[in-house]
């Protein structure tokens, strides 16, 4: 069987050459890593759920005018995306103190922040993704001041929209990480949302119990990791309970 050309294999996904120029196929693996890949494991079924969850969230974001790389889902584990020139910055937005932020600033995990805080990290596994400022980003030429303005505006819009969307299904959108890329057409360049949005790169807590429904279950050995990802998909209404036809949309909480 002829196999597509593999472009890249990362920790959670594989990129293949797409069917048309300027496209890629993103394959979602079950592999999980944490603490800069020092902890490794497999979460059975994670790839299928993340493919579905990222598709759903990116489609909803497109509806409000946030440009994304998502084109269409191809199968259970693969989606077609627009190839972009990745900006090597992990953009983190935080609404509630958690994880390394809580540690760094000595704030109790769970404390609501006075306003949403945007942070940038240089995407480099060998260096352990160091936190950087706008100064570093422009000085090293990773992005211009205009790019950063666009990225900040998109990140905050994504945060506002998804905070509301998750709230509607009984989930607190604690924090998340996104990546952006440059899409060129003729002489024009647009910054668009790339990579994925899934429980691998978000913190999602149950609104009533604060139960963690994200990758912290893997990082902190809390168990029931796949079940947590499945619960997020179920609440979003994208996990067919009675077969593929049974897609009802989000189950709004009262």
Binding site for ligand UDP (CB under 6 A): 90, 92, 98-101, 129, 175-177, 201-203, 215
Q: Is 225 helix (H, G, I), strand (E, B) or coil?
A: helix
Based on CB atoms, which residue is closest to ligand ADP, 137 or 169? Answer: 137
First to last CA, the chain: 51
28 vs 161 by CB, closer to ligand ADP: 28
x/- letters, 21..50, toward ligand ADP (CB under 6 A): ---x--------------------------
User: Tokens in use for 135?
Assistant: 């100064």
| Residue 92 makes contact with ligand ADP by CB under 6 A | no
Shortest CB 1 distance to ligand UDP, Å:
34
Reduce the DSSP state of residue 37 to 3 states and report it: coil
Looking from the CA of 252 toward its CB, the CA atoms found within 13 Å total 2
C-alpha span between 56 and 15 (Å, rounded): 20
Cα-based angle 12, 17, 20 (whole degrees, multiple of 5)? 135
For the chain, what is the radius of gyration of the CA atoms?
18
Q: Sign of the C-alpha dihedral, residues 235, 236, 239, 245?
A: positive
Q: Is 8 helix (H, G, I), strand (E, B) or coil?
A: strand
| Contact pick of 53, 66, 81, 238 for ligand ADP (by CB under 6 A) | 81
Contacts of 56 (CB under 8 A, 6+ apart): 236, 238
CB of 19 to ligand UDP, least distance (A): 29
**Residue 203 binding target from ligand ADP, ligand UDP, none, CB below 5 to 8 Å by type:** ligand UDP
Question: CB nearest ligand ADP: which residue?
Answer: 10
Task: Using the minimum distance from each CB to ligand ADP, give the nearer residue, 37 or 112.
Answer: 37
Measured from the CB of residue 24, what is the shortest distance to ligand ADP in angstroms? 5
By CB under 6 A, name the binding residues for ligand ADP: 8, 10-13, 15, 24, 69, 81-84, 86, 179, 181, 194-195
């Amino acid at each position: 069987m002829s196999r597509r050309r593999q472009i890249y294999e990362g920790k959670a996904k594989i990129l293949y050459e797409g069917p048309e120029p300027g496209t890629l196929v993103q394959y979602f693996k079950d592999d999980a890593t944490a603490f800069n890949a020092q902890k490794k494991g497999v979460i059975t079924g994670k790839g299928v759920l993340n493919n579905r969850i990222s598709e759903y969230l990116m489609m909803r974001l497109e509806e409000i005018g946030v440009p994304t790389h998502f084109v269409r889902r191809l199968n259970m584990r693969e989606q077609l995306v627009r190839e972009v020139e990745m900006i090597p910055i992990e953009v983190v937005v935080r609404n509630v103190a958690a994880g390394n932020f809580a540690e760094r600033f000595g704030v109790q995990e769970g404390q609501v922040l006075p306003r949403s805080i945007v942070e940038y990290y240089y995407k480099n596994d060998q260096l352990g993704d160091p936190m950087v400022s706008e100064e570093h980003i422009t000085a090293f030429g990773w992005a211009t001041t205009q790019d950063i303005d666009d990225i900040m505006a998109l990140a905050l819009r994504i945060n506002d929209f998804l905070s509301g969307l998750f709230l509607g299904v009984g989930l607190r959108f604690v924090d998340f990480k996104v990546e952006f890329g440059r899409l060129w057409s003729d002489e024009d360049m647009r910054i668009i949302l790339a990579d994925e949005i899934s429980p691998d790169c978000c913190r999602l807590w149950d609104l009533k119990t604060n139960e963690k429904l994200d990758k912290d279950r893997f990082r902190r050995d809390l168990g029931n990791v796949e079940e947590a990802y499945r619960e997020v998909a179920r609440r979003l209404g994208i996990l067919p309970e009675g077969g593929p036809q049974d897609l009802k949309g989000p189950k709004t909480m009262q």
